[in-house]
Chain A
Amino acid sequence: MADTISTKQIIKPENLVHKKSAVMTDTTMHYCPGCGHGTTHQILAEVIEELGIQENTIGITPVGCSVFMYNYLNIDMQEAAHGRAPALATAIKRLMPDKYVFTYQGDGDLAAIGTAETIHSCNRGENILIIFINNGIYGMTGGQMAPTTIVGMKSSTTPYGRDVSLMGNPLKMTDIVATLPGTYYVTRQSVHKPGNVRKMKKAIHKAFEYQKKKKGTCFIEVVSNCPSGWRMTPVESNKWMEENMLPFYPLGDFKVPEE
């Protein structure tokens, strides 16, 4: 067993391969096993730590599964009414232009009830970062159809699958905001594989750098999973996401600055 490593060796600093970010609190997360929220929180915290902006960052949480994000990040945060996070962020950034301001919103929050706030904040080019978690479902309320639920996808309010003739079409918000003059950097990422996690982290890094330079709105969609809402195991949900969500929501940049 020459390849094994003892406990004593594991805790040696030179063997450290991963640690919890200092910007994360010691609170146990309420997220379901396998959910993408936890990973995204961790990456965001790492970037805030690496950029040294913990004292100057203000986050806005949505209504949805990530409503309690303020329990997990050790920064000042405000909890918005459903869909209104970009309105809060607009005011906070305009009143304190030197702070870093981000919103963290789910698909129901951002693409249904908060569509107006999203579009207009992006169109005004508010110097904020919007992180948009798209798992195609209302997780917190028990798995109802979201504006992003793909055609044929089952949810508690589309028990026979989303039927366009009855429920209309899924909405591609990221495609829309990329067309607006106020957005500077628009990208769609995921966090279901290590490579994707690294890309996502790079995207958040870029977005905060652009915010520092007051370039306009940065918008990062994260195509994510919802094992509980989709009634799948974490592994099944990631596979389903790859096979069904990603063909409709392809990953990649929509708008990148010319550098």
Chain B
Amino acid sequence: MEKELRLMKGNEAFAEAVIRAGTDAYFGYPITPQSEVLEYLTAEKPHERTGMVVLQAESEVAAINMVYGGAGCGKKVLTSSSSPGISLKQEGISYIAGAELPCLILNVVRGGPGLGTIQPSQSDYFQATKGGGHGDYKLIVLAPSSVQEMADFVELAFELAFKYRNPAMILSDGAIGQMMEKVWFNPQKKRSGELQPWATTGKTADRERNIITSLDLDPHRQEQFNLKLQKKYREMKEKEVRYETFQCDDAEYLLVAYGTSSRVSQKAIQMGREEGIKVGLLRPITLFPFPSKEINELADQVKGILTVEMSAGQMVEDVKLAVNGKIPVEHFGRMGGIIPTPEEVVENLKAKIIGG
């Protein structure tokens, strides 16, 4: 089978890619602006296409715990939601991280706090990249900036999740989820049926029983377990950083932005360069692990950095840590579901970095 070109919404492209990746199960609950994922999956009858399980759960909490159960069986399982729903899932995500299980979670971010709004936002960056639930843990976080990446990151996220036995999150936003673009799909993969040696698939006579748990009341063993997790996160930082640069070769100023903000930033760079401002973009693709080393190196080249985020300024903290005081780092953002305009970005670059 060859690749196939379709015109689709980001959320639908994600759902189609989920089926094609040979995923075993999806558990979800409706919430705007990501309900198309569940709607598409139920309409497509993946149980007929591949035998994939799709179930609308009674709550976000139940959905993530269904993911926990399925992941514990070594299956490729996922859930999707938007910000308030992701908050509800945090308990389960912490348990999944603590039990070292692979899974995929899609967050199509909307503005908050609270019920907030249904328009796009990037205000869940802290929650996604710093853990989110209780305890010292990290998710692998991928940030798509196109409908194509909504599809492509499904397989990448599962690959990384199984490689590290760690939950992976695709941190999208309402704009990427709702907009339509061309998208190329890979051919349909079969569900693997592979038995994971650690999974609860029934204790056969040839092995010890498998137990999926995040509990150990012995503090010394619990600390050793935490050290093991931290080692895993360090390994991710060494091996899994992904990013993209745009017009950085001669740049004197740098924008750092991901997802929808990075698309606005690309237009802002074009406008700035028309005015003679040599500005480039670094777009983190993995928000954890964060491209700190690459940003630090660019700080030797450029005079200042502006982060563009649809938030009060969250990623800017990681950029400042990466730069470690070498050059000025400032933030420009819009909140509450407003997408910044390229004009605003150029104005803020001038006011906060160039003129400052």
Q: Do residues A79 and B211 form an inter-chain contact, with CB atoms below 8 A? A: yes
For A131, the chain B residues whose CB sits under 8 A away are: none
Q: Do residues B25 and A76 form an inter-chain contact, with CB atoms below 8 A? A: no
* Bound form: Cα–Cα A96–B200 in Å: 10
Q: Do residues A55 and B203 form an inter-chain contact, with CB atoms below 8 A? A: yes
Q: Do residues A81 and B202 form an inter-chain contact, with CB atoms below 8 A? A: no
Known: A79-B214, A91-B70. A84 touches B203 (CB 8 A): no
- B43-67 at interface with A (beta carbon < 8 Å): 53, 55, 57-59, 61-63, 65-67
For B205, the chain A residues whose CB sits under 8 A away are: 55
Known: A78-B213, A79-B211, A95-B73. A90 touches B200 (CB 8 A): no
* Bound form: Cα–Cα A88–B53 in Å: 14
Q: Do residues B59 and A116 form an inter-chain contact, with CB atoms below 8 A? A: yes
Which partner residue on chain B sits nearest A53 by CB separation?
B202
For A171, the chain B residues whose CB sits under 8 A away are: none
B77 within 8 Å of A by Cβ? yes
Q: Do residues B200 and A91 form an inter-chain contact, with CB atoms below 8 A? A: no
In the complex, which of the residues A89, A94, A99, A116 has the most CB atoms of chain B within 10 Å of its own CB atom? A94
Closest CB in chain A relative to B105 CB, distance in Å: 15
* Bound form: Cα–Cα A88–B210 in Å: 16
Q: Do residues B69 and A87 form an inter-chain contact, with CB atoms below 8 A? A: yes
* Bound form: Cα–Cα A123–B25 in Å: 21
Q: Do residues A74 and B203 form an inter-chain contact, with CB atoms below 8 A? A: yes
Closest CB in chain A relative to B113 CB, distance in Å: 24
B351 within 8 Å of A by Cβ? no
* Bound form: Cα–Cα A147–B146 in Å: 49
Chain A contact residues: over half helix, strand or loop, or mixed? helix
B75 within 8 Å of A by Cβ? yes
- A92-130 at interface with B (beta carbon < 8 Å): 92, 94-96, 99, 116-117, 119-120
* Bound form: Cα–Cα A76–B208 in Å: 9
For B59, the chain A residues whose CB sits under 8 A away are: 116
In the complex, which of the residues B53, B65, B210 contacts A94, with contact meaning CB atoms closer than 8 Å? B53
* Bound form: Cα–Cα A99–B91 in Å: 27
- B257-310 at interface with A (beta carbon < 8 Å): none
B125 within 8 Å of A by Cβ? no
* Bound form: Cα–Cα A7–B50 in Å: 62
Mark each residue of chain A from 72 to 88: 1 if its CB lies under 8 Å from any CB of chain B, else 0.
00111111110010011
Q: Do residues A90 and B69 form an inter-chain contact, with CB atoms below 8 A? A: yes
B14 within 8 Å of A by Cβ? no
Mark each residue of chain A from 35 to 68: 1 if its CB lies under 8 Å from any CB of chain B, else 0.
0000000000000000000111110100000010
* Bound form: Cα–Cα A17–B255 in Å: 78
For B91, the chain A residues whose CB sits under 8 A away are: 81
Q: Do residues A81 and B95 form an inter-chain contact, with CB atoms below 8 A? A: yes
A70 within 8 Å of B by Cβ? yes
Which partner residue on chain B sits nearest A120 by CB separation?
B58
Q: Do residues B203 and A89 form an inter-chain contact, with CB atoms below 8 A? A: no
Closest CB in chain B relative to A244 CB, distance in Å: 33
* Bound form: Cα–Cα A80–B215 in Å: 10
* Bound form: Cα–Cα A76–B204 in Å: 9
Known: A54-B203, A57-B202, A87-B66. A79 touches B58 (CB 8 A): no
Mark each residue of chain B from 23 to 45: 1 if its CB lies under 8 Å from any CB of chain A, else 0.
01101000000000000000000
B72 within 8 Å of A by Cβ? yes
B92 within 8 Å of A by Cβ? yes
* Bound form: Cα–Cα A89–B69 in Å: 7
Closest CB in chain B relative to A81 CB, distance in Å: 5
B222 within 8 Å of A by Cβ? no
Q: Do residues B66 and A88 form an inter-chain contact, with CB atoms below 8 A? A: yes
For A56, the chain B residues whose CB sits under 8 A away are: 202
Chain B: residues with CB nearer than 8 A to chain A? 24-25, 27, 53, 55, 57-59, 61-63, 65-70, 72-73, 75, 77, 91-92, 95, 99, 200-205, 209-215
Chain A: residues with CB nearer than 8 A to chain B? 54-58, 60, 67, 70, 74-81, 84, 87-92, 94-96, 99, 116-117, 119-120
Kindly list the 9 A-B residue pairs having the minimum CB-CB distance in the complex, ordered from nearest.
A88-B69, A87-B65, A91-B69, A79-B213, A76-B200, A84-B65, A91-B66, A120-B58, A91-B70
Known: A76-B209, A79-B214, A90-B55. 8 other contacts (CB 8 A): A58-B200, A78-B69, A78-B200, A79-B215, A84-B92, A87-B63, A91-B25, A120-B57
Q: List 25 A-B contacts (CB under 8 A).
A: A58-B200, A67-B215, A75-B202, A75-B209, A76-B202, A78-B68, A78-B72, A78-B212, A84-B61, A84-B68, A87-B62, A88-B72, A89-B69, A90-B69, A91-B69, A91-B70, A92-B69, A94-B55, A95-B25, A96-B201, A116-B61, A116-B62, A120-B57, A120-B58, A120-B62
